[in-house]
């Protein structure tokens, strides 16, 4: 007995039996109906209409059938696939509509909520701190004085007894705006002031007769690269007192008062000999470390990051006004004496508030400024 002739016996093709086709169709419809979201529907679509789905595989079998059987099977499979595609499209429409509705609810924005039309900025801590320092002196009767940032070389150097070849005049420290050769014969060159001390000379010349008590906060410039501890533009506060009978004891008392006003009761300063052309004698002033108050010195169990366990923090320079400066500014050094000091605000702000990188102060990011609070 020979085997049945498959090409003439469509019933032999299992996948094309009417009940098989119906089962495939119903399975597909059930899968679409039970797809809970669009992802699930995509999977069901691949499984029931993709190239390896049962209906697609059955469709491929049709070609091998005799003409009559081919037409019947083709119709059956075609109708089943049509029903499947229709059900898929219907379910897709439902799920998409559901998704759109959900998105509208979930991503809704309440446009009636009040909002900040002009977000409040914050005053930069350098500004508020400079004002606070100046206030300490204003409370003692000092006046706030200002001078130009593009300053005559004469005020920045000559009047302050810097000899012409003083190293601070050199290019590596000073930004020259116009050198003396380029100026008219009776004019000084112009520099970006390298310190606030030229305001000393300006104050003396403007006021003519002492007593002169001025405090000068301001921006100064030096040719430094911007890094964690340097910036080419920074701030200083200068103090100048010229009167009859002022001594170094007045200077020391004034410094002690300032650090107590800024850092708390019991703070002290110390002076170490130094040299500045415009003060004589000159000193470097330190304040006791306001964090460890000196207790970290020789005490390895209690190291202090703020002062590096030195016990002291360097603030700046000071001294008695050099009589040569008084003379250059028309003040009689026989009758008057004075003291002056100057220090950098950035440095002071850094150790007062544990700011580790100078660049944070320069970048102007309001997120740096806000934690310092609003001081008006
Ligand atoms: N101007 C000096 C500096 O920038 C500091 C100073 C000011 C020193 C006043 C003495 C008196 O380094």
Q: Are residues 169 and 86 in the same domain?
A: no
Distance 343 CA to ligand 1 centre (A): 7
- Give just the sign of the alpha carbon dihedral 308, 309, 315, 316: negative
Find the Cα–Cα–Cα–Cα dihedral 204, 206, 208, 209, rounded to 10°. Answer: -70
Listed as own residue / partner, the contacts of 262-271 with beta carbons closer than 8 Å and 24 or more positions apart are 262/132, 262/133, 262/136, 262/352, 263/287, 263/290, 263/352, 264/290, 266/293, 269/315, 270/312, 271/318
Q: What's 175's domain CATH number?
A: 3.30.930.10
What is the tens place of the pLDDT at every residue in 131-172? 999 999 999 999 999 999 999 999 999 999 998 888 877 766
**Whether residue 275 is found in the same domain as residue 188:** yes
The verdict on 78 and 164 lying in the same domain is no
Instruction: Point out the domain boundary residue: 106, 135, 158.
Output: 106
Q: List the binding residues.
A: 280
pLDDT band for position 366 (50/70/90)? confident
Q: Which residue has tokens 């000092």?
A: 142
Does the C-beta of 316 come closer than 6 Å to ligand 1?
A: yes
Token duo for residue 55: 């209906």
pLDDT higher than 80, residue 13: no
The answer to whether residues 165 and 32 belong to one domain is: no
The residue with greater pLDDT, 289 or 181, is: 289
Q: How far is the CA of 218 from the centre of ligand 1 (A)?
A: 13
Atom of ligand 1 nearest to the CA of 196: 1
Indicate the top mutation candidate among 160, 218, 275, 278 to test ligand 1's pocket, ranked by most ligand atoms within 8 A of CB: 278
Beta strands across the sheet bearing 190-192: 150-152, 190-192, 176-178
How many domains, the chain? 2
pLDDT of residue 1: 44
**Whether 61 and 145 share a structural domain:** no
- The reply to whether ligand 1 has any atom less than 6 angstroms from the CB of 338 is no
Q: Across the chain, what does the average pLDDT equal?
A: 90
**Has residue 4 been placed in a domain?**
no
Better-scored residue on pLDDT, 320 or 67: 320
Tokens of 89: 């499209």
Give the 3-state secondary structure of residue 264. Answer: coil
Ligand 1 pocket check for 318: Cβ under 6 Å: yes
The pLDDT assigned to 184 comes to 59
CB neighbour class for 40 (10 Å; exposed up to 12, middle 13-18, buried from 19): middle
Q: Note whether 131 and 215 are same-domain residues.
A: yes
CA–centroid distance, 215 to ligand 1, in Å, is 13
352 part of a folded domain: yes
346 contacts 283 by C-beta, under 8 angstroms: no
**Confidence band, pLDDT 50/70/90 cuts, at residue 10:** very low
Structural domain boundaries enclosing 37 = 14-106
State the number of CA atoms in the 13 A half-sphere of 239 facing the CB: 27
For the stretch 218-252, pLDDT in tens is: 999 999 999 988 899 999 999 999 999 999 999 99
Q: Which of 186 and 122 is assigned the larger pLDDT?
A: 122
Determine, yes or no, domain membership for 43.
yes
Ligand 1 center to 317 CA (angstroms)? 5
Q: Are residues 153 and 252 in the same domain?
A: yes
Q: What does the alpha-carbon distance between residue 287 and residue 255 come to, in Å, rounded to a whole number?
A: 9
Angle at 148 between CA 154 and CA 246, to 5 degrees: 70
Asked if residue 263 belongs to a domain, the reply is yes
| Domain shared by 183 and 68, yes or no | no
Q: Answer yes or no: do 215 and 299 share one domain.
A: yes
Return the pLDDT at 329. Answer: 95
Candidates 361, 76, 96, 324; CA nearest to 201 is 324
Q: Which two tokens stand for residue 353?
A: 């508030």
Q: Cα(240) to centroid of ligand 1, in Å? A: 11
Based on the number of CB atoms within 10 Å of its own CB, is 273 exposed (0-12), middle (13-18) or buried (19 or more)? exposed
Rg of the chain, C-alpha, whole Å: 43
The answer on 143 and 53 residing in a single domain is no
Q: Would you say residue 369 has pLDDT above 80?
A: yes
Whether residue 174 is found in the same domain as residue 86: no
CB 195, CB 159: distance < 8 Å: no
CA-nearest residue for atom 7, ligand 1, is: 342
Are both 34 and 80 inside the same structural domain? yes
Q: Retrieve residue 45's tokens.
A: 């679509």
Most confident of 77-81, 110-114, 206-210, 319-323: 319-323
Centre of ligand 1 from the C-alpha of residue 178, in Å: 23
Q: Is the dihedral of CA 144, 150, 155, 158 positive or negative?
A: positive
Buried b / exposed e over 290-320, threshold 16 CB at 10 Å, is bbbebebeeeeeeebebbebebbbbbbbbbb
Q: Residue 140 class from Cβ within 10 Å (0-12 exposed, 13-18 middle, 19+ buried)?
A: middle
Q: Band of the pLDDT at 306, cuts 50, 70, 90?
A: confident
Strand, coil or helix: what is 22? Answer: helix
Q: Report d(CA 319, CA 245) in Å as an integer.
A: 15
Ligand 1, from 137, 218, 238, 317: best to mutate by most atoms within 8 Å of Cβ? Answer: 317
User: Whose Cα sits closest to atom 4 in ligand 1?
Assistant: 195
| 115 is a domain residue | no
Q: 6 lies in a domain?
A: no
The finding on whether 152 has its CB within 6 A of some atom of ligand 1 is no
5 part of a folded domain:
no
Residue with tokens 């508020």: 128
């Amino acid at each position: 007995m020979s085997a049945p002739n498959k090409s003439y016996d469509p019933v032999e093709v299992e996948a094309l039996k009417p009940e098989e086709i119906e089962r495939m169709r119903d399975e597909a419809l059930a899968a679409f109906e039970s797809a809970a979201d669009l992802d699930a529907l995509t999977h069901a679509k691949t499984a029931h209409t993709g190239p390896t789905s049962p209906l697609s595989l059955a469709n491929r079998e049709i070609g091998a059938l005799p003409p009559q059987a081919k037409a019947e099977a083709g119709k059956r499979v075609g109708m089943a696939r049509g029903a499947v595609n229709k059900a898929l499209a219907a379910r897709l429409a439902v799920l998409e509509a559901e998704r759109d509705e959900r998105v509208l609810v979930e991503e809704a924005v309440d446009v009636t909520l009040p909002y900040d039309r002009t977000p409040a900025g914050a005053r930069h801590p350098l500004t508020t701190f400079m004002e606070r320092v100046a206030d300490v002196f204003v409370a003692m009767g000092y006046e706030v004085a200002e001078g130009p940032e593009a300053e005559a070389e004469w005020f920045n150097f000559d009047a302050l007894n810097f000899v012409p070849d003083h190293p601070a005049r050199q290019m590596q420290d000073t930004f020259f705006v116009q050198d003396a050769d380029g100026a008219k014969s009776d004019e000084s060159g112009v520099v970006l002031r390298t310190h606030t001390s030229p305001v000393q000379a300006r104050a003396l010349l403007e006021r003519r007769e002492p007593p002169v008590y001025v405090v000068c906060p301001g921006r100064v410039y030096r040719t430094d690269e911007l890094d964690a501890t340097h910036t080419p533009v920074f701030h200083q506060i200068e103090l100048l007192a010229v009167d009859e009978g002022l001594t170094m004891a007045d200077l020391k008392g004034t410094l002690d008062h300032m650090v107590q006003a800024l850092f708390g009761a019991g703070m002290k300063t110390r002076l170490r000999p130094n040299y500045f052309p415009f003060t004589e004698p000159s000193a470097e002033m330190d304040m006791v470390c306001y964090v460890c108050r000196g207790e970290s010195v020789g005490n390895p169990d209690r190291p202090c990051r703020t002062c590096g366990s030195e016990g002291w923090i360097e603030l700046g320079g000071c001294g008695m006004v050099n009589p040569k400066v008084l003379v250059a500014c028309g003040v009689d050094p026989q009758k008057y004496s004075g003291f002056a000091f100057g220090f950098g605000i950035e440095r002071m702000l850094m150790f007062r508030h544990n700011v580790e990188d100078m660049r944070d102060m320069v970048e102007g990011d309001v997120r740096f400024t806000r934690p310092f609070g609003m001081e008006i």
